[in-house]
Every structure is written in C-alpha cells, then in structure tokens.
Structure 1
C-alpha cells in the first residue's frame, strides 16, 4: 500500500475512534454508491453524521479540509440520499469533515460539524 494510502487509512481509523469516544454509533465506513465513497456514516441523537475524513502529513499546501471539492460534496449528497432512502431512515442529516494533520508522531484531529455550509 502506498504511503499516502496508509496515512488515509490511519486517519479513517483515528476518526472512528474519535467519534466513538464522543458517543457516535458507527453505522458504516467506506460506503460506496456509484462514484462516491462515504468515509464514515455515524449516528448520534437522531442525527446522521456523514463524515469526510481528510488526513495530511503537512499543511504546507493548506489545511486538510481545504481539499474537499464541490464535486466531492455533490457526490456525497447524492450517495447519502440513496443511503437514507434504502435504509428507510428517519433522521436529520449533517455533513461533517474530520481534518487530521500528522505532526511528527502525533495526530491533530479537528471535527468540523456542518462543514458544507461554509462552501
């Protein structure tokens, strides 16, 4: 596995642990629909949190969350629409980003709730 893929996998694993510690129930990880992949789908207090995880080894070119594109947002919205319908869920939906920055041997985790409202 390429180093950047290993870093991405580590970020997703850290995100799941982080969310579980905050009381989220993890429903799915790496859920796919057409061209979209949803990194983490979690539930807390009747809110479905759709999590895009961005992990970077440096912020030299920008913060991790800066790499979520409009195209990615469109794909996630379409995918989660299908997810909610297919699972017959009656929940509020929120799109979050978990931005992870590797700092030597530690990881800084930032949870940005309702992140797509800022795009």
Structure 2
C-alpha cells in the first residue's frame, strides 16, 4: 500500500491526541474509510491524504465536496444509525516518509 506510512503517521498523531481506534480501511458501498475512531463520545471518520509535492495538487485539493459527502454516508453505514454523533476530519500529510508535516482539520458538513 503506497500511502500506508502516511496513514500510520496520522494514526499515531490521533492516538496521541486521545482518540481511540475502532477500525481501519473499512470498505462500504460508498467508499473506504481510512480511520474510524472515537473521542469523547463522538465517532470520528478520518480521511488521510498525502502528497509528496504539489505537482498533482495539495492534499486539501483532493478532498472534494463529493468525497466529503461519501465519507458521511460511509460513517452512517458503518455505525448503522443516523442519530449517533459523527464528525468528519482529515489529516493532510505533506512530504515523504523521511520528511513530512501533518495538518489536522475538522471538516464542515
């Protein structure tokens, strides 16, 4: 898996912030959820986007409104209910395994 290192870096960051891992790379009819976590009673779906350079755009540019909508559908599918508190977040990874920085965002839906 090409971006596995970025997902691992994102997960380490989130666990260090008090998140609890519930699942990784969970497939749904709407797409794949990179990380499913919980923090303070809220279920958190995290999309990890990595770019080594800006040649193909930034990680943020890869998060389209369609992608965000599909993440929300995937979250509801995985949780099996529409009334649970869910938050969508993204961890953007800029760089390569030897040299990178993380940007952690809460997505507005």
Q: Do both share a fold (TM > 0.5)?
A: yes
Instruction: Structure 2 unaligned segments of length 5 or more: list them.
Output: none
Question: For 1:13-50, what per-residue CA distance to the aligned partner results, in whole angstroms no more than 9, with x for missing partners?
Answer: 11111111111001001011114100001101011111
Question: For 1:33-78, what per-residue CA distance to the aligned partner results, in whole angstroms no more than 9, with x for missing partners?
Answer: 1141000011010111110000110134432111012322222121
User: Normalized against structure 1, the TM-score is what?
Assistant: 0.80
Q: How many residues align?
A: 109
Correspondence 1:92 to 2:99: no
Correspondence 1:42 to 2:7: no
Aligned residues: CA RMSD: 2.1
Instruction: Structure 1 unaligned segments of length 5 or more: list them.
Output: none
Higher helix fraction (1 or 2): 1
Kindly report structure 1 stretches of 4+ aligned residues shifted beyond 3 Å: 88-91
Quick one: distance in 2 between partners of 1:104 and 1:13?
10
Aligned to 1:107: 100
Does the aligned pair in 1 maintain the 2:6–2:97 contact within 8 Å?
no
Quick one: distance in 1 between partners of 2:83 and 2:73?
17
Question: For 1:58-99, what per-residue CA distance to the aligned partner results, in whole angstroms no more than 9, with x for missing partners?
Answer: 1344321110123222221211111121xx697421111100
Matches within 5 A, 1:1-119: 5-6=1-2, 8-85=3-80, 91-102=84-95, 105-113=98-106, 115-117=107-109
User: Normalized against structure 2, the TM-score is what?
Assistant: 0.87
